[in-house]
Structure 1
Amino acid sequence: MSDVVYDVVVVGAGVEGSAAAYYLAKRGKKTLLLEQFPLPHSRGSSHGQSRITRKAYQQDFYTEMMHEATDVWRQLEKEAGWEVFSQTGFIAIGKYKGNYLDNNASSLQRNNARFEYLAPQDFRRRYPMLRYPDDYSCVADPEGGILRADKALLAYQAMFQKYGGRLIDGAKVTNIRRGNIVTLETPNASYRGRSVIICPGPWASHILRPLGVKLPLKTMRITVMYWKERDNDRHTPSKLHPFYDHGVRGCRGHDVYGFPSEEYPGHVKICLHYGPEIDAEFRDQADDKWAIDLMKEYVREHFPGLEPSPSIVETCIYTNTPDEHPVLDYIPGSRNIVIGVGFSGHGFKLSPVVGKVLGQLACGEKPSYGLNPFRIDRFPLQASL
């Protein structure tokens, strides 16, 4: 065992853990970041070339957080020297004057964010590549856009190390021993920290249950699909903004999200915001044919400028809570072990603020944002100590 005692040890070098480590190292804290897999890898939730970012949320607390998150993304890309955030704009799609669009507009207005609430005829005029019922429209968020996910993760990790942090990959934490100084065991070495932040992604249950923490988490495999644009079609959606379609008809009430042609030339990324439940260790054993079939119907109905079958299929993992809000809190019985879990498929954009508040908790400080929506005790029977 090393004699070194870190101020904070962060477990998990996905986007949330890397953001927390970056925040702490930038503050001058002696910080260790441990990752179970050799980096880079594509086995969790943070890989890939793109994620949506937006201020358009139904909940005020997310819109409020996204003001600072957007500023930090801009600062991070300046520090790293490469693009992380492309401000293309974003649209939330739903029924005109329905709860979803009204709530987005209200939250944006209350938080002094720019937006447009389009009437249905303006929605159809501005987005001729889409085909929706006459009572559908959108809330346009001009400050949203695309995060370059792989580049963003690399930026966090590179700047973390530039500020003096230590990153060790291929170091799976097999045991955590509580105490005033927390000890973390891996197959090759043990490490010690005054505080620990655990951001295990889809491996949350594996690492938390030995600590007596049981959360109602559902790990799902998401089928990431890319659809080829038809040549010379007037409906080609090349100029489409990133979008989120709330509870579209024909997808069993599940939401859909998508991006313009960015990652693969001539291909639009459109995915079901849902998938089969899995164990992260066996994600490729899940059957996702039903998800692909649902999306074929969706694309055929709403995107006439795309081929109705995906030509590229990849995978990602969500770790969902019942209310789709993450847990950002201390584990029961320990004021020096903090967890960030259950981001439910929308945590990447929030990571600058998530990393900050997790770091503040680990330092024993009052967080910059109210964390009541993210408390661990909102779920019953979460601990069995």
Structure 2
Amino acid sequence: MADTEKTKKKVYDFIVVGAGVQGSFTAYQLAKKKKKTLLIEQFTLPHTRGSSHGQTRMIRKAYEQDLYTHMMDEGYGLWATLEREAGVTLYRRTGLLVMGPEKSQSYIGFKNSLEKNQIPMVVLTPDNFHQHIPNVVLADGDGAFVDTTAGILYADRALKVVQGQFEKLGGVLKDQEKVTDIKPGPMVTVTTSAGVYQAKGVVITAGPWANKVLLHTGIQLPLQVVKINVCYWKEKVEDTYHVKKRFPCFLLCEGEEAKDHIYGLPSNEYPGLMKICYHSGSQTDPDQRDKQTDKSDIDILRRYITKHLPGLIPEPAVVESCMYTVTPDHHFVLDCHPAYDNIVIGAGFSGHGFKFGPIIGKLLCELSLGEVPSYDLSPFRIARFQTIIKSPL
């Protein structure tokens, strides 16, 4: 009897593979459209193995590319809608301090984008910087401004809430089920470690495991998985950099200390500890990530904190880990499979995708339903890559 139950195919309108932030919001949007939807996760929920865990993430409109700024205009509204539906606070406004060499391409790009899109901002000068932002030393030649709309998302809470809303809408969430096969066709068959399912459409949002899942569909994308050290630094005097003291998130977009961004979030999840990370990491296999022990990013952070954040002890008190799945151009993949238009792919969020969860869920839902997407998705199409490896099924 048990074997018969296991091999009997259960039929859905849509199956979403991967219950991180993007998959969970996609499933939620499909359920809102009255579609019978199954959301599958390989690990026990909640877990810390992928890219969506952790107590906080940054939310901002400050971007060099207008497209992301425009998407976040709607994204803020969708986060607020989820807050109202669930009756739970998911966002705290703190502002985002953006710093960088005043004449650098990156800093000018951030500043111009906010000005052009009329995003509320405050430009700081070397004369008034310390008055507004105490306990931070602005580097010589650096400019600074604050995106006043920015803040913190409560990530773990948000993931739990959107999954709960999905289930309230009739969605089915199954964890501890690893996908072992996908057979494309008019009805896609998805086999997991615990069962066999069929659906008219499948959405693959498997994060660092995207290429491992896509292998079952005959393609591989140019995705690189990197492990990030998520570092927390102890305040010398408690509450110096605390969210309650109106200390903002910050982003160093360029500088002599680092080739990539350094970003920080005020003390919140761990009392007396500020989250500061380097926006880059070392390549890893998602199933072997604990073997990746590179700490070169921590050395970069130590040097920066010593020079510019005098209220912190320049040695991490807590080091956790996260994974980014990075595309060559650091833009997302939001597209239909090149060979099967009923398989939709959301991947390569390159370390800046969490805040877009609600809008990405909406877009992947639109692609799944064959609707015209709400935004121009040409920057996110698979066709932009020169390298797509097609393998026989």
Is structure 2 residue 325 aligned with structure 1 residue 319? Answer: yes
CA distance in 2, matches of 1:50, 1:137: 26
- Give 2:370's match in structure 1, choosing from 364, 367, 370: 364
Q: Structure 2 unaligned segments of length 5 or more: list them.
A: 1-6
* Superposed structure 1 runs of 4+ greater than 3 Å apart: 1-4
Q: Structure 1 unaligned segments of length 5 or more: list them.
A: none
Report if the CA contact (8 A) 1:39-1:169 is conserved. yes
Structure 2 partner of 1:281: 287
Is structure 2 residue 256 aligned with structure 1 residue 249? Answer: yes
Question: Equivalent residue of 2:354, what SS?
Answer: coil
Residue 186 of structure 1 and its aligned partner are, at CA, apart by: 0.6
CA distance in 2, matches of 1:87, 1:133: 26
Report if the CA contact (8 A) 1:104-1:139 is conserved. no
* Cα pair distance change 1:113/1:132, threshold 3 Å: closer
Between the two proteins, the alignment pairs up a number of residues equal to 382
Report if the CA contact (8 A) 1:10-1:197 is conserved. yes
Residue 313 of structure 2 aligns to which amino acid in structure 1?
E
Residues 198-238 of structure 1 deviation map (CA, whole Å, 9 limit, x = unaligned): 001001121112322121111111101111101279xx333
Structure 2 partner of 1:227: 233
Residue 269 of structure 1 aligns to which amino acid in structure 2?
K
CA distance in 1, matches of 2:161, 2:270: 22
Report which stretch shifted further, 284-293 or 307-316: 284-293
Sequence identity (%) = 47
Residues 99-157 of structure 1 deviation map (CA, whole Å, 9 limit, x = unaligned): 22322232223333222232333333311211122321223111110000000101110
More strand by share: 2
Residue 92 of structure 2 aligns to which amino acid in structure 1?
S
Structure 2 partner of 1:213: 219
Report if the CA contact (8 A) 1:332-1:383 is conserved. no
CA distance in 2, matches of 1:104, 1:117: 12
Structure 2 partner of 1:5: 11
Residues 144-191 of structure 1 deviation map (CA, whole Å, 9 limit, x = unaligned): 100000001011100001111110111111110000010000122111
Q: TM-score, normalised by structure 2?
A: 0.94
Structure 2 partner of 1:294: 300
Question: Equivalent residue of 1:120, what SS?
Answer: coil
CA distance in 2, matches of 1:27, 1:111: 32
Residues 24-66 of structure 1 deviation map (CA, whole Å, 9 limit, x = unaligned): 1112111110001111110000000000000111100000000
CA distance in 1, matches of 2:215, 2:198: 20
Question: Equivalent residue of 1:32, what SS?
Answer: strand
CA distance in 2, matches of 1:99, 1:119: 19
CA distance in 1, matches of 2:237, 2:382: 51
Residues 262-307 of structure 1 deviation map (CA, whole Å, 9 limit, x = unaligned): 0111111101111111000010111222222221111111111100
CA distance in 1, matches of 2:322, 2:9: 38
Query: Pairwise mapping of residues 303-318 of structure 1 onto structure 2 (< 5 A)?
Result: 303-318=309-324
* Cα pair distance change 1:118/1:286, threshold 3 Å: same
Structure 2 partner of 1:377: 383
Question: Equivalent residue of 1:257, what SS?
Answer: strand
Residue 245 of structure 1 aligns to which amino acid in structure 2?
L
Q: TM-score, normalised by structure 1?
A: 0.96
CA distance in 2, matches of 1:207, 1:5: 20
Structure 2 partner of 1:70: 76
Report if the CA contact (8 A) 2:265-2:275 is conserved. yes
Residue 362 of structure 1 aligns to which amino acid in structure 2?
S
